[in-house]
Structure 1
């Protein structure tokens, strides 16, 4: 992490936990430009330092003290106990980049106390750095506060220059294990491998590097120590620096990362596997979904649970052809985890966290911006972006309800602001138009909800600099219904967090349709069922997964007899239909949309009408395909290749894509289209231009996409 941040252009202070007894770990950092090591013991930074290193509270206390001396822009914390302590330090809130490893990795361990701790960590953090996609998905599914903050930071592989394996196996075959010695890591069982291979006529040596023996079981620790010292054909190299451990490993033939079966569910990826692969060594390891994703299901050196199965695999690896194929596969996988890749990834996160100041702004006199409204949930990420910009000072005027607010505070903000953004064209817009000052700019975002209410007709449009609509169709409809000048109405689309949504699809996603939100009835889940039925007549693998609150969760929907009758009729249809009964899954509503979408190949929109309907765009950004019925204005948001006249046409298009093997091509085209127009960074930049200097965006042109059909 330290090397990656330094390579990304940061000045890094590394606070050491314990006194330096050997320079194995810190030596590679002493010559890195921009890296400062702080040694609490040698510098006597605290008076009561114990023999086992800093406690989490001491570490966080030192960080906050150093922060007062030279303020840090970000603070990286690794380890659950340290992260909990850091999350409780208000001075660090929002600047924490928490690297999560030692967290619960299954439902049984995820107690209410653990969820509470992880929630506190997520709330206090700017980013949660997750080693694997599997860990990120599990975290987001369990801790809602982690959604939108969880990003990937895989292991980083740094191999000394000029250190590499020979490329061919030796005789005797040299096996290598490097790391800690612990029961679940099968290190005691590994010591039996030379004898097991000898029984198969394969001479072998086992080289073991490390000096950390877990002593939770004293008896096991004694047996492990004795095996290291007394086992024939076992060479124990003891503790070594990382660089020396890699040099010793490169002189061997095959790496060992064989572990106990209970480790198969781990959500972490072994750095040792990647390091050995980078040296050109193949590795024997357990067959798990994560390892199959990394090395392929046909990788030849997956081991079983017992020592004989490992010996069988190692005997197979003595064949030069098998050895070469396995080594090439490990090397290719490791190439994705270099320091350069890590630095590139960190630079992307730094750009998100620390955007550049917009042209025309000055930190000496920031542009004063107020965001006002009764419900800011659709504006939260945009407000976060504006707040992060140097040269802008942003304050929120959050109204309790449509007509309820602190009038004194609102008047103060109206007198203070250079720019006012009213989220919703409701009483908030009327208030700020009434109190607008000369030279002040007023921007009003109008949703479908207000267009059919009385407030737009009461608004003094001469006081408004721009009315923002999310789609061309609703911009035109607004002009027609209210009669406002065309040059006052601008189109600024909804955003899609394409970077968060860009995750690998799970197997079978092409057969899974998704809907997000099915209430009220104008969302028309019945049409979605029509599409599913048409598809299941052709292939029973098609499934519809619905992520939603149920209609009875909304009192204002469930109290309407026609709404209740619609859902009762629709749900009876699912229960009684042979085609549908086993083909519809309901998932709970929640913020873990990015994780959920990994299962979904097609996100369908079957509504009577929508102002934008973000779900199909999110599906496309996730690597899926949007499928949209031709509700009014759909073809101004999605190109015509994704828009269908009726449910039969939608089903036909979906099945053709899947059955003709064009799913990957279609989803690549969809993602390219959606990210070009609706990516979060692009929409944030459009809002920045409008807020800072009044530059209105040009309307999106979909004609060039429409020519590419699905047939």
Structure 2
């Protein structure tokens, strides 16, 4: 764009002045405005992209959402398109990776009270739909043939894969380890001596997906081919590094199943995974499925995987224990180590309750939030600690820390809270309900105005919109011991009937072992028709 009277050199000089102020100021509102406005008028796409990216990274490093974030990652994609059109595959991959790292930085989606992706998923990811380089990244590489049907003459060979986190696999692993119709192997791509060195860094994966890094691709082929040749079905938990790695290789006749929880939806990984090589994609809730379908173009296109919604696998029976009488006035929050868990909301509920009755307490179970995660998390932690300190020596808040005995910790908890900004399914809340604690679920703000969310997952009377509503529900259902015990018993009955592993395992059996491969897919037909 031409700017009469101002040369490109002068525009660049002004942009660098603004960038310097963005870098060293805590409140660089004017400098950010100047940087964004001037960069719109810089003709060289590489210079424009570099300046905007540096400004955005400066703000992200301080833990703030950059004012011009969409402009910055769109400029990186424009730069990637230019490199791609001129045949510089490595440079195109580098620019595309930088764009994704900007767009999906944790400060943008994970360490704050909101996310532009959750608010408007299609709008936030629109630049990825328009970019030539991004289209090359998600171009289906396909497979030589369809996945073979389950074998009839021998047990099904099942390979369960994760990348350093098998927390949600344990009941599934135990089930298939003792299943007469299954021969089971596992692979941790983060610790396997052959695979782990290849499962590091998104940049190489992006470049390989776009046609570069041929030698790296050959290494992945050699590492994974024996696993794929052995397996009839590969189940990859978490749609992240391991899923991206496996879909860089043609699975031939091996069926690929990937499960996506929540974190991945707010990450770059679904934009790197080649879904043309995924036969089935499992979500743990409808609201996460809805978000991903809007945000990830491949899931609406021809050749997309079958979409399924299956509850998390969890054995709830061990949580059914007798409550101690004092538990009636003890609120509990299981899992507090992320900003997304928003324990400050739980503290506000406690404050409102203690205005009425100072017998109420709050018990926090789990590792505390680590301020070293980043400056945004550190700011949240400081505010949280100030609010906790306001209770002084009253002893109203206790922190248990990380424990392997969650069911034991729940014996003292009579009301289980879900205070989160976002969740896919919230294991801690479900375990608490199964223990007989009265559930109080915040209408998770990331999904509160969507067709599906906390109210679609849990009974409507469990869900509240505000701390005031939460306090009112607690006061009503703990008013007498009989009322509290009755409400907790009803919650436990519902949890066990809806979500215990005995209810969920048949879904996994039908999906992984059965010939029809169609389970819990409500909504897929509607998604397909909308896409058409």
As a proportion of its length, which structure holds more helix? 2
1:574 deviation in Å? 2.2
Matches within 5 A, 1:114-193: none
Is residue 2:435 matched to residue 1:622?
A: yes
State how far apart, in whole Å, the 2-side matches of 1:481 and 1:687 are.
Answer: 26
User: Structure 1 pair 374/403, CA: closer, same or farther in 2 (3 Å)?
Assistant: farther
Is residue 2:464 matched to residue 1:644?
A: yes
- Match for residue 155 of structure 2? 366
Is residue 2:477 matched to residue 1:682?
A: no
Per the normalisation by structure 1, the TM-score is 0.45
User: Structure 1 pair 503/404, CA: closer, same or farther in 2 (3 Å)?
Assistant: farther
Contact 2:332 2:364 in 1 (8 A): yes
Return the match for 2:398 from 585, 598, 602.
Answer: 585
Contact 1:549 1:588 in 2 (8 A): yes
User: Structure 1 pair 605/560, CA: closer, same or farther in 2 (3 Å)?
Assistant: same
State how far apart, in whole Å, the 1-side matches of 2:322 and 2:272 are.
Answer: 49
State how far apart, in whole Å, the 2-side matches of 1:496 and 1:377 are.
Answer: 10
User: Structure 1 pair 562/437, CA: closer, same or farther in 2 (3 Å)?
Assistant: closer
1:696 deviation in Å? 3.5
User: Structure 1 pair 665/430, CA: closer, same or farther in 2 (3 Å)?
Assistant: same
Matches within 5 A, 1:653-692: 653-660=473-480, 661-692=482-513
User: Structure 1 pair 614/504, CA: closer, same or farther in 2 (3 Å)?
Assistant: same
Return the match for 1:381 from 145, 165, 171.
Answer: 171
1:551 deviation in Å? 2.4
State how far apart, in whole Å, the 2-side matches of 1:534 and 1:700 are.
Answer: 40
State how far apart, in whole Å, the 2-side matches of 1:590 and 1:492 are.
Answer: 27
The superposition leaves residues 435-462 of structure 1 with CA deviations (integer Å, 9 ceiling, x where unpaired) of 3444421100112222233332233323
Contact 1:511 1:543 in 2 (8 A): yes
Contact 2:171 2:314 in 1 (8 A): no
Per the normalisation by structure 2, the TM-score is 0.59
Contact 2:159 2:185 in 1 (8 A): yes
Is residue 2:180 matched to residue 1:390?
A: yes
- Match for residue 519 of structure 2? 697
State how far apart, in whole Å, the 1-side matches of 2:336 and 2:251 are.
Answer: 43
As a proportion of its length, which structure holds more strand? 1
1:683 deviation in Å? 1.9
User: Structure 1 pair 581/646, CA: closer, same or farther in 2 (3 Å)?
Assistant: same
1:422 deviation in Å? 0.9
SS at match of 2:495: helix
- Match for residue 118 of structure 2? none
- Match for residue 558 of structure 1? 372
* Bigger RCO of structures 1 and 2 (CA < 8 A, at least 6 apart): 2
User: Structure 1 pair 427/573, CA: closer, same or farther in 2 (3 Å)?
Assistant: closer
State how far apart, in whole Å, the 1-side matches of 2:310 and 2:430 are.
Answer: 15
- Match for residue 207 of structure 2? none
1:598 deviation in Å? 0.9
- Match for residue 506 of structure 1? 324
User: Structure 1 pair 585/463, CA: closer, same or farther in 2 (3 Å)?
Assistant: same
State how far apart, in whole Å, the 2-side matches of 1:520 and 1:648 are.
Answer: 23
User: Structure 1 pair 400/464, CA: closer, same or farther in 2 (3 Å)?
Assistant: same
Is residue 2:230 matched to residue 1:416?
A: yes
SS at match of 1:659: coil
State how far apart, in whole Å, the 1-side matches of 2:406 and 2:159 are.
Answer: 30
Structure 1 segments of 4+ aligned residues over 4 angstroms from their partners? 405-409
Contact 2:231 2:254 in 1 (8 A): yes
State how far apart, in whole Å, the 1-side matches of 2:327 and 2:284 are.
Answer: 30
- Match for residue 96 of structure 2? none
Contact 1:677 1:700 in 2 (8 A): no
The superposition leaves residues 321-354 of structure 1 with CA deviations (integer Å, 9 ceiling, x where unpaired) of xxxxxxxxxxxxxxxxxxxxxxxxxxxxxxxxxx
User: Structure 1 pair 700/679, CA: closer, same or farther in 2 (3 Å)?
Assistant: farther
Contact 2:331 2:415 in 1 (8 A): yes
The superposition leaves residues 455-493 of structure 1 with CA deviations (integer Å, 9 ceiling, x where unpaired) of 322333232111111111001111111131487211111
User: Structure 1 pair 682/605, CA: closer, same or farther in 2 (3 Å)?
Assistant: same
State how far apart, in whole Å, the 1-side matches of 2:352 and 2:492 are.
Answer: 26
- Match for residue 422 of structure 2? 609
State how far apart, in whole Å, the 1-side matches of 2:185 and 2:352 are.
Answer: 51
State how far apart, in whole Å, the 1-side matches of 2:275 and 2:190 are.
Answer: 25
